[in-house]
Amino acid sequence: MRRIWRLWPGWVAYAAGGFAALVVVLGLAGGEVSGWVGAVGGALGLAGLVLRRSWVVWAGVVVLAFSTFGLLQDLVTLLGQGRPDNWPAFLAKAARVVAMLSLVGAALVVGRRARGACGRCGYEHADGGPVPLRFPEATTAPKGVRWAVYAGAASFLPYAGAKVAFGLEYRRDYIEHGGFMAVLAHFGVDLTAVLALLGIFLLVAMTRPWSQVWPRWVPGLAGRRVPRWLPLVPAWLGATLGPYGLFGVGYLLVFGLGALPLPGFVGPAGIVGFTGAGLAFAVVAWDYQRRTRPRCLTADGAAVPAR
């Protein structure tokens, strides 16, 4: 299995093409706006793969990203109630996410090979086999990234507090919904408040070296490398909070504070928190991805940054 993953530059374009074709079919057959947008993104991705133009593939990725708007809300509903609001729509959106991620990998490979670099690590070296990867030493995020994270985390705290109060007031409604959300509600705990606090922890953790190497206080894993996907997947999901917050700002400008669907302080706190935390997640995820980028461990040690 590990060898298959090491060979991902050889098969990711085929997987991306298959999923892109799937979202085109589902989008045209579904009759929803998000599905049509996804179909356009899938078609762009397919065209880029056929033409071997990475920028066209990236264009398809961007369009597909817009078609997955609301995924985080669907995941929270699935976690809290054990089911999404609409299973077919959720599965179609999940297919667009898989297509988008596979197209990201294909775009990287196409672009790297176009400039004569290794499709797997992006560095120039002669050895093209499935060799092991060498990961950089654990480092702290730059000062600017840390301050962006601190600001985003601080903006999220009022939302967490407001949702605690909201959960206590409406705990009976949460219990009626059932699922994990109801279990937490019995103890007066709101699921989204817990997720907000976990998001703040993740934001700060990704700026520290122990987000790359397990610290001493983690039993059985201390000193081992943290898989890159483990913090990056929830961080990029957290980055999707940014559009929610910006949409809320536009909603306020058009309809005013009194038109917010959530009562009291929760609505404004959510707009501020989603905007700040979403932007902070995008910054720290991009920085973490750059700082932890591995390179192929070639036999001659000739790996150098691609020009």
What Cα–Cα distance (Å) separates residue 230 from each residue in 55, 103, 120, 225, 235? Answer: 28, 20, 19, 11, 9
The tokens 């699921």 sit on which residue? Answer: 191
- The predicted-structure confidence for 161-201, as pLDDT tens digits, reads as follows 888 888 777 777 777 767 788 888 877 788 889 999 999 99
Domain housing 214 = 143-291
32-64 burial, b for 16+ CB within 10 Å, e for fewer? bebbebbbbbbbbbbebbeeebbebbbbbbebb
Q: What pLDDT, on the 0 to 100 scale, is given for residue 258?
A: 66
Q: What pLDDT, on the 0 to 100 scale, is given for residue 305?
A: 47
Q: What pLDDT, on the 0 to 100 scale, is given for residue 175?
A: 73
Q: Do 243 and 148 fall into the same domain? A: yes
Q: Do 161 and 247 fall into the same domain? A: yes
Mean pLDDT, residues 26-49 taken together: 92
- The predicted-structure confidence for 118-154, as pLDDT tens digits, reads as follows 888 888 876 556 677 888 999 999 999 999 999 999 9
Residue 226 lies in a domain: yes
Q: Do 266 and 200 fall into the same domain? A: yes
Residue 123 lies in a domain: no
Residue 119 lies in a domain: no
- The predicted-structure confidence for 228-276, as pLDDT tens digits, reads as follows 999 999 999 999 999 888 888 887 777 666 666 665 678 888 889 999 9
Q: Do 158 and 283 fall into the same domain? A: yes
Report whether pLDDT(42) > 80: yes
Domains of the chain: total: 2
Q: How many CB atoms lie within 10 A of CB 29?
A: 10
The answer to whether residues 57 and 107 touch, using CB atoms and an 8 Å cutoff, is yes
What Cα–Cα distance (Å) separates residue 189 from each residue in 51, 178, 306? Answer: 52, 14, 50
Q: Do 157 and 241 fall into the same domain? A: yes
DSSP 253-289: HHH-GGG-SS-TTHHHHHHHHHHHHHHHHHHHHHHHH
Mean pLDDT of the chain: 87
pTM score of the predicted model: 0.88
Alpha-carbon gap, residue 80 to 221, rounded angstroms: 29
Pick 94 or 297 by higher pLDDT: 94
Select from 20, 1, 10 the least CA-distant residue to 64. Answer: 20
Residue 135 lies in a domain: no
Alpha-carbon gap, residue 206 to 287, rounded angstroms: 9
Q: Do 159 and 283 fall into the same domain? A: yes
Alpha-carbon gap, residue 53 to 46, rounded angstroms: 10
Select from 285, 282, 280, 283 the least CA-distant residue to 157. Answer: 280
Query: Cβ-count burial of 237 within 10 angstroms (0-12 exposed, 13-18 middle, 19+ buried)?
Result: middle
Q: What pLDDT, on the 0 to 100 scale, is given for residue 261?
A: 64
